[in-house]
Structure 1
Amino acid sequence: MIELKTPAEIDRMRVAGRFVAEVLSEVGRLADVGVNLLDLEHHARGMIGRRGADSCYWDYAPSFGRGPFRNVICLAVNDAVLHGLPHDYTLRDGDVLTADLAVGIGGWVADSARTVVVGTAAEEDLRLVRATEEALEAAIEVARPGNRLGDISAAISAVAQDHGYPVNDEFGGHGIGRTMHEDPHVSNKGRAGRGLTLRPGLTLAIEPWFARTTDKIVHDPDGWTIRSADGSRAAHSEHTVAITEDGPLVLTRRDSEEPVRRGRPAGRLSARDA
């Protein structure tokens, strides 16, 4: 069932969204060569505790995971991209790090993810990260009343095609609101003009993710971490977006974030770009 939110409820989701953005900015600032993933997890856990927020990941036990998940943030490195289980790993120069976070505040949830390159960035990694950001902004642009869910999916896959990246459609975006995962599913691959008609009050977590040379995935023995099947590096960008009469409203935009538009040249991207 799809639940449309009132403007007041969207405002409450925005409170959670601002906090998610704050935590992801802090994680990006702290991530550096020599930093352990568990230190980033513990820092995020402390911020959530001090805010009195609720982690959507702690004790999360879906059918596809080896649950329950006992961390508050997903951290994935290099060829890992989704559901990264924080573990004893020290970041190295050139690592591609994805952080994904969902929390609830006052009964309303927001979800966001970002990928950064730690230390010295290879050009091909910058291009991959920028492609996911570009796809996210293209999807947000068409998240308007009267458009279709397929328009969002088609916008994502069009950017991937422009860059020459394959698209996995097993895992994608989703509705969000009172819980982390609500209807509808938002595929990263689709056809424009198809699917659910977008209406004001619909809130979605839109999350394009690409691996460089494959659309196939494998799971780690931990039962959670998802990697590209061929070991190629991957990146993931996500925002919680509300569809309003005035157009899309991004609830998880980071203060220092500059939206990446289609065709914009890639620049340097590092963990310090909070």
Structure 2
Amino acid sequence: MIHLKNKEELELMYQSAQLVSKTLGMLAKEIKPGVKTIDLDKMAYDFIKDHGGEPAFLGYGGFPNSLCMSPNEQVVHGFPNNDILKEGDILSVDCGVFMNGFVGDHAYTFEIGEVAPEIKKLLKITKESLYKGIEQVLPGNRVGDIGHAIQTYCEKEGYGVVKELVGHGLGRVMHEDPQVPNYGRRGTGKVLKEGITLAIEPMINMGTDKVRFHKDGWTVTTRDNMPSAHFEHDVAIIDGKPTLLSTFQYIYDALGIESDEEKPFLYKK
């Protein structure tokens, strides 16, 4: 069942998503060569708690940390650990917050120092595909329109679109209906309506779309061990338009990046 949100609920969801955004922005300054991901996880836990939230991932299904941190060939659900980040790595950081009765959940793939041009392109296309999907979040469209937009944009560049993992509805719990695949056919799937809230999250591989699920029950890697990128936003239909509840702006401010990519989708109070 899809739970449509009213304006008051959407404002609470916006606040939860913004705390995730601020957490990622705080981490952006700390993610660099020589850092351990377990230390970043502790920073995120403290930051979330200090700002009135609870880490939504901690204990979820038995997950032991506040962040999913997935370097290089890890697609999603990686454990923070004592490994050292190295120049040329990439790191997907997925963060969740529970606050005001609602969950915020989004992700960004960071470059560690200077990365290879072909990896930069993978990250660029994956993030652009996220916005191609967001453009389809309109009343009367269907879930398949989102996946189709993401899939076609990435596959024309020769990338593998992960099929076994999907985005999802979001609200009072982490995963609500509907599932939001990053592939699909136009005009198929659940109808999108005013007040729907979705976590859209392209997971795109440089090589094959095939993935490996590890015995720890969480870690997912690419089957060919080539890099994977992951970007995620929380999106709602508000006043008939796709509207971002989350933002990458705090990351961009920390890293000195200029971007107007979010301008068409800004949340208006």
* TM-score between the two structures when normalised by the length of structure 1: 0.90
Written as runs of structure 1 = structure 2, the 5 A alignment for 1:76-155 is 76-155=70-149
Q: Give per-residue Cα distances to partners, 1:189-218, cap 9 Å, x unaligned.
A: 101111111100100000001111111111
Percent of aligned positions that are identical: 38
Shift of 1:255: 2.4
Letter in 2 for 1:143: V
C-alpha RMSD over aligned residues = 1.3
Contact 1:145/1:245 (<8 A) preserved: no
Q: What are the within-5 Å matches in structure 2 for residues 231-246 of structure 1? A: 231-246=225-240
Structure 2 unaligned segments of length 5 or more: list them.
Answer: 253-258, 263-269
Counterpart-to-counterpart distance in 1, 2:90 and 2:211: 17
Residues 201 and 242, structure 1, Cα contact 8 Å, conserved in 2: yes
- TM-aligned CA deviation for residue 260 of structure 1: 5.1
1:254 counterpart (235, 248, 265): 248
Give secondary structure in 2 for the equivalent of 1:91: coil
* Aligned residues of 1:175 and 1:205 also touching (Cα < 8 A): yes
Question: Aligned partners of 1:96 and 1:220: how far apart in 2?
Answer: 20
State the Cα distance separating 1:25 from its structure 2 match: 1.3
The superposition leaves residues 37-72 of structure 1 with CA deviations (integer Å, 9 ceiling, x where unpaired) of 1110010011011112122211111xxxxxx11100
1:71-115: CA deviation from partner (whole Å, max 9, x where unpaired): 001101100020111111110000011000111111111110000
Unaligned runs of 5+ in 1: 62-67, 262-274
Structure-1 separation of matches of 2:214 and 2:36: 19
Q: Does the Cα contact within 8 Å between 1:133 and 1:259 map onto a contact in 2?
A: no
Alignment deviations for residues 203-250 of structure 1 (CA, whole Å, 9 cap, x no partner): 000000111111111133433111101100000000000112240110
Distance 1:4 1:253 in 2: 21
Q: Secondary structure at the match of 2:129?
A: helix
Q: Which residue identity lines up with residue 141 of structure 2 in the other structure?
A: N
The 1:135/1:259 distance shift into structure 2, 3 A limit, reads farther
1:202 alignment partner in structure 2: 196
Is this contact kept in 2: 1:169–1:189, CA < 8 A?
yes
- Other-structure match for 2:172: 178
Q: Point out the more displaced range, 161-170 or 6-15.
A: 161-170
The reply on whether 1:191 has 2:185 as its aligned counterpart is: yes
For residue 160 of structure 2, give the secondary structure of its aligned residue in structure 1.
coil
Kindly tell me the number of residue pairs found equivalent between the two proteins.
255
The reply to whether residue 54 of structure 1 matches residue 54 of structure 2 is: yes
SS in 1 for 2:234: strand
What is the alpha-carbon distance in structure 2 between the residues aligned to residue 94 and residue 260 of structure 1?
A: 25
